[in-house]
Amino acid sequence: MKRRLTQYKLEYARAALALKYTYKEIAHNINITERSIKDMIYKNESKSE
Give me the percent of the chain exceeding a pLDDT of 90: 71
* Residue 4 buriedness (CB in 10 A; 0-12 / 13-18 / 19+): exposed
Closest-CA residue to 3 (of 35, 45, 32, 46): 32
Do 39 and 13 form a contact (C-beta atoms < 8 A)? no
SS3 40: helix
Name the pTM for this structure.
0.78
Q: Give the model confidence (pLDDT) of 16-31 as tens digits.
A: 999 999 999 999 999 9
pLDDT band for position 2 (cuts 50, 70, 90):
low
